[in-house]
Amino acid sequence: MTALIIRKIIFTVLWAFVFWIGSAVLLGLGSGLFFARQSAQGLNPAANTALINNIGTAWAVVPMVAGLIGLILGVVGWLPGTRNRLA
36-55 pLDDT, tens per residue? 998 888 888 888 899 999 99
Q: What is the pTM of this model?
A: 0.85
Asked whether residue 86 is assigned to any structural domain, the reply reads no
Model pLDDT, residue 45: 80
The number of folded domains in the chain is 1
Mean pLDDT of the chain: 92
First vs last C-alpha separation in the chain: 12
Model pLDDT, residue 47: 87
How far from 34 is each of 46, 52, 61, 62, 81, CA to CA, in Å? 12, 11, 19, 17, 36
7 neighbors 65 (Cβ within 8 angstroms) = no
Asked whether residue 7 is assigned to any structural domain, the reply reads no
**Average pLDDT over every residue of 61-69:** 97
Model pLDDT, residue 58: 95
Residue 54: HSE in the Cβ half-sphere, 13 Å Cα cutoff: 6
Asked whether residue 42 is assigned to any structural domain, the reply reads yes
* Range(s) of the domain holding residue 32: 12-76
Q: Select the more confidently predicted residue: 27 or 85.
A: 27
